[in-house]
Copies of this chain bind each other. A is one copy, B any other.
Amino acid sequence: MKRVKLTVAYDGTRYHGWQVQPNADTIEGELNRHLSALLQEEIKVTGASRTDAGVHALGNVAVFDTKARMPAEKISYAMNTRLPEDIRIQESCEVAPDFHPRFCRTVKTYEYRILNRRFPDPTKRLYSFFYYYPLDVGKMREAAAYLEGEHDFRAFCTMRPGIENTVRTIYSSEVEKEGDIIVFRVTGNGFLYNMVRIMAGTLIRAGGGVFSPEYIKAILESRDRELAGETARPEGLTLVEIHYPEEDKAAGMQLQNR
């Protein structure tokens, strides 16, 4: 028996999110179905991040156990010949039997893309949020900087039962202009439900001059969801990377033991 970790990229457009649901196409459902067929045993993956409907990923992570003899590294290639075109495994490797994609320490990076121009660009519509009103990137950048550090992000999440601790640490929160796309890129040790999309909706308000960048501080302190901006639409959001610092340590150990 071995534990295998998959790094999974997908276009979330036509899926009802990551998590298996009856009578709906989901990323988890597709992975379970094709892994089970490939390895000839019932496979149920555990995902690192249960992305919502319409959200994309370049590096979500799924883990499963298998008795199959196929080397872990080959599973990516074999799966990519079976999966639909809008899901592609980027890497597969064996991990320690106690590796858990959600309970291990992680550093996650998300990008939220805003297409800010006069008319929509049809070739960007599936992977960005179109916003007509001109946004001030400088103000958005200033506002984004207030999100960095350890804060109680209760004002920036949709509360769910069972969630008590809403303190998270944001390592970096940056806004860049790439042609007519404004990219909000945020890295942290954990994200609450809808957190990045509410941050994006709030930065759009700051960029449009609805409130000043410093007002982000007041929103954080209020812990009041009503003060932050809208939950921005899902198509703008991409889970870029999930980094497991423990893996670096393990890789370092292996190098030392050579």
Please list the residues of chain A having a beta carbon within 8 angstroms of any beta carbon in chain B: 9-11, 56, 58, 76, 80, 85-91, 118-123, 125-127, 238
Q: Can you name the residue of chain B whose Cβ is closest to the Cβ of A77?
A: B119
Q: How many copies does the complex hold?
A: 2
Does A119 contact B58, Cβ atoms closer than 8 Å?
no
Residues of B within 8 A of A122 (CB): 9-11, 56, 85-88
In the bound complex, do residue B80 and residue A9 qualify as a contact, i.e. CB atoms below 8 Å apart?
Answer: no
Determine how close the nearest CB of chain B comes to the CB of A12; give it in whole angstroms: 9
Nearest-neighbour CB distance to chain B for A44, whole angstroms, equals 22
Pair A88/B9 contact, Cβ less than 8 Å:
no
Complex Cα spacing A88 to B119, Å: 7
With the chains together, A120 CA to B89 CA distance in Å?
9
A sample of 16 inter-chain contacts (CB < 8 A) reads: A9-B119, A11-B122, A56-B122, A56-B123, A80-B120, A85-B122, A85-B125, A88-B120, A88-B121, A89-B119, A90-B118, A90-B119, A91-B119, A123-B127, A123-B238, A126-B126
Q: B residues within 8 A CB of A89? A: 119
Min distance, Cβ A76 to any Cβ of chain B, angstroms: 7
Cα-based distance from A91 to B238 in the complex (angstroms): 30
Report how far A76 CA is from B120 CA in the complex, Å. 12
B125 engages A11 (CB within 8 Å): yes
A56 to B123, CA, bound (A): 7
Smallest CB–CB gap between A11 and chain B, Å?
A: 4
The 8 closest A-B pairs by CB, nearest first: A11-B122, A86-B122, A88-B120, A11-B123, A90-B119, A56-B123, A88-B122, A10-B122
CA A76 – CA B119 in complex, angstroms? 9
A89 to B238, CA, bound (A): 27
Contacts of A125 in B (CB 8 A): 11, 85-86
The docked-state distance in angstroms from the alpha carbon of A9 to that of B125 is: 12
B residues less than 8 Å from A119 (CB atoms) = 9, 76, 80, 88-91
CA distance A87 to B58 in the complex (A): 27
